[in-house]
Structure 1
Amino acid sequence: MPIDRHSAQPLTVQIADDLKRRIDRDEFPVGTKFPSLRDLSRDYSVAELTVHAAVKDLQREGLLTSASGRGTFVSAKPSDSVADDPELLVSPESFAALRAEVADLRTRLEKLEGQGARVD
């Protein structure tokens, strides 16, 4: 794993770049479970927090998806990434607004279901 501890580039960025390369070369094929933070931190000889930051970057780029209780999965190759299409990028403010709207819709749906309304 090409990590240069003397580079001006942060370790997180180096690890994220290497993981992208490995995904692109099908070392981690789309649809498969991604290695654990513990395994990656051991492979790169860095703290889990460092690997966690790199993994979060890949999640933001749409390459990885986390499933609660199941793990993290490869969802796209770097060439297929949402981050490559500027029209699909969402600002943090817009993302927060979307999350709030989804939470509101969830609450309203739960209320309707609680009233016995049929929602198909």
Structure 2
Amino acid sequence: MCDAVLLCRVSDGLTLVETNSETKNMSHKFELKKLCKKLETFPKLSTIASNQFNYHFLIDNGIAYIAVFPLSYPKKLAFLFLNDICKQFNEELMIQYGTHSIDYRSIIETIEKPYSFIKFGMLSAYIY
């Protein structure tokens, strides 16, 4: 089961969406924020292990999709989960900004407020 999901902009680590499971583990929040500042050095798919959890990353089109899972959770399933989140977020961008000649990356790069897609966070909470 996923413990937390965070979407942030790769260029500067600005948080776009964050959701937590019922445990509300505050150490995840601190670690995720710290990792978001270093994303430009990560490959497109990567995993960082901590004491009890794995932080799985998928970077696509300037956005990092990060999920926290227990160490025992299979990496393949974690990356499939992140891929689903990525697809759903792209669909949300299409709904909000349209589909005709839109450069979604430039939209993401011009966002100034953190948690600008909090509505998506509420919707994605139903996934896990």
TM-score over 0.5 for the pair? no
- Please state which structure has a larger fraction of its residues in strand: 2
Tell me which of the two structures has the higher relative contact order, counting C-alpha pairs closer than 8 angstroms and 6 or more residues apart. Answer: 2
- Please state which structure has a larger fraction of its residues in helix: 1
TM-score (norm. length: structure 1):
0.28
